[in-house]
Amino acid sequence: MANLKDLRNQIKSVKSIQKVTKAMKMVAAAKMRRAQENMDEARPYTNKLNNMLNSLIPEIDRSILPELESRTAIDHKLFVVITSDRGLAGAFNSNVIKMAQKEIDKFGKDKSTLICIGKKSLSHFKIRNYNIIEDYIDFWSELGFLHATVIGEKIISYFTSRKVDEVQVIYNAFINVGKQEVQFEKFLPLTYESQDESLSILTDRIYEPSKESVIKAMVPKYLNTQIWQYLLESFASEQAARMVAMENATSNAEDMIKDLSLKFNKARQSAITTEMLEIVSGAEALN
């Protein structure tokens, strides 16, 4: 039978951990609400820009901008891997890292370069000697559009200088509080999707000074906005995953406390019964 003091210490330890997980859940919930609001505000703007570019790109000469130029041979790829700086968020980071490593190894480790956003991806790929050319950490608590602009300009510079032929982004997209999906998207070169019939009216508009000028002005803004959207989606997903993980941890701690309390009561009852038997046996021996 377990020692009463040990069981009492275990119960005390689990209760302390439960308080921490409950507090972390509340903090994550507050951060997630703010992050989700920012993400929902950015989505319509990103979608409108995307629809506008989809209607214009097929009608212009793609050589006017290096960001639109498709390479005939993809000899070198840049992978942008977006994770968090901290753990305790369930499978949030591991899912992104698994997908990234799978795609990098499929294309070829020697032909791939990485930009790691978040400490988790940086530590994983650095220890395995992947070619990391840039990393961005310790900024999530102060996340702003300036961060997206700096990261976006660096990514674009690697593509336009022909150091890489294609840019892929791996991140977690926010579906709802209980669900985040890993996305693997091509960031550069910009391509276009087949137009919806409702968007065909855009082709009948007159653009001043010209469609080419509009594209040249819009593309850099769109790319920075797209990076901003990736960061917002990832941050909201991180907080949602952490909130759910901490809620599960708090629930598991409650179950452990119940099991340990039952063991403690059984051990105490056994000790009392043993002491009573010893007292009775002693009395009988004296008689």
What would the pLDDT profile of 152-170 be if each residue is shown by its tens digit? 999 999 999 999 999 999 9
Query: How many domains does the chain contain in total?
Result: 2
Question: Are 176 and 262 within one domain?
Answer: no
Please state the rounded mean pLDDT for residues 142-148: 93
In a domain, 284, yes or no: no
Question: Are 15 and 75 within one domain?
Answer: no
pLDDT score of 199: 47
Count other C-beta atoms under 10 Å from residue 55's C-beta: 19
Percent of the chain with pLDDT over 70: 94
Q: Could you tell me where the DSSP H helices lie in the chain?
A: 4-56, 92-107, 119-127, 145-160, 211-286
Structure tokens at 145: 């559009």
Question: Rounded CA gap, 65 and 212, in Å?
Answer: 9
Question: Rounded CA gap, 56 and 146, in Å?
Answer: 27
Question: Are 198 and 260 within one domain?
Answer: no
Question: Are 177 and 63 within one domain?
Answer: yes
Count other C-beta atoms under 10 Å from residue 76's C-beta: 18
Question: Are 66 and 183 within one domain?
Answer: yes
Question: Are 25 and 112 within one domain?
Answer: yes
Question: Rounded CA gap, 79 and 115, in Å?
Answer: 6
Question: Rounded CA gap, 73 and 121, in Å?
Answer: 28
Residue that wins the pLDDT comparison between 253 and 209: 253
CATH number, domain of 264, equals: 1.10.287.80
Question: Are 124 and 81 within one domain?
Answer: yes
Domain that includes residue 270, residue range: 4-19+246-279
Is the per-residue pLDDT at 2 higher than 80?
no
Percent of the chain with pLDDT over 90: 63
pLDDT score of 194: 54
In a domain, 175, yes or no: yes
Question: Are 274 and 172 within one domain?
Answer: no
Question: Are 143 and 229 within one domain?
Answer: yes
In a domain, 256, yes or no: yes
**Tell me: the pLDDT tens digits for 13-43?**
999 999 999 999 999 999 999 999 999 999 9
pLDDT score of 256: 94
Question: Rounded CA gap, 279 and 273, in Å?
Answer: 10
Question: Are 156 and 220 within one domain?
Answer: yes
In a domain, 285, yes or no: no
Question: Are 108 and 8 within one domain?
Answer: no
In a domain, 221, yes or no: yes
Question: Are 223 and 267 within one domain?
Answer: no
pTM reported for the whole predicted model:
0.86
Supply the mean pLDDT for the chain.
89
Return the minimum-mean-pLDDT range out of 3-17, 99-113, 201-215, 246-260.
201-215
Instruction: For residue 101, name the pLDDT band (cuts at 50, 70, 90).
Output: very high
In a domain, 286, yes or no: no
